[in-house]
Structure 1
């Protein structure tokens, strides 16, 4: 699946494919599917906060350092779209703002498509 999101005024192409978990493991030394569970918890917390609950619900995510997984997932989908992409820290430095929660729904769609099957 392919999606284009806008980050800080720049269009960023994201692709999910069978290679995504391998790219993730090679880049971060972590298992894609193990981190996926944490990603989904973070996304659920962020979604609840966005729907009117206090942003204070997000504080534990920042305190535990869990939020870094969100950046990893966005980067791995961007890397899958462009294998020449800079390493995560250098890539993030290219953006003045990185409003993760603004495009979280788009990233979630890619995540869900990568772990579910189409019905015949």
Structure 2
């Protein structure tokens, strides 16, 4: 899944692949599934709005966003350097646009089978 967003006047490409969770683990030495569930508790996926500010961790969000961008562009600089290249990074505009890319790794495309 790919998406291009305009952030601070620049076209930024994001890409989610089957290796997304592993890339996150390699880069940040954290379990992406646990971090995604933590963010999921803070976001109303139906309305794409922030519902629990205490459960929302900006670092986790920035890390996930960076991995999606790094997957699309392997030449991307390290996370802080990349984020520092933007004069603004409007989270509330970005969250609804890429939340499906982040949460897609938690869903199944095949129906569950009973044994």
Q: Report if TM-score (shorter chain) is over 0.5.
A: yes
Query: Can you give the 5+ residue segments of structure 2 that lack an aligned partner in the other structure?
Result: none
**Alpha-carbon distance between aligned partners in 1 of 2:17 and 2:106, rounded to the nearest angstrom:** 10
User: Displacement of 1:112 after TM fit?
Assistant: 2.7
Q: How many residues align?
A: 109
**Alpha-carbon distance between aligned partners in 1 of 2:42 and 2:88, rounded to the nearest angstrom:** 20
TM-score by structure 2 length?
0.82
Query: Can you give the 5+ residue segments of structure 1 that lack an aligned partner in the other structure?
Result: 50-56
User: Displacement of 1:41 after TM fit?
Assistant: 2.0
1:47 and 2:49 are equivalent in the alignment: yes
**Alpha-carbon distance between aligned partners in 1 of 2:15 and 2:72, rounded to the nearest angstrom:** 5
**Alpha-carbon distance between aligned partners in 1 of 2:38 and 2:106, rounded to the nearest angstrom:** 14
1:25 and 2:16 are equivalent in the alignment: no
**Alpha-carbon distance between aligned partners in 2 of 1:20 and 1:107, rounded to the nearest angstrom:** 13
More helix by share: 1
User: Displacement of 1:114 after TM fit?
Assistant: 2.5
| C-alpha RMSD of the superposition | 2.2
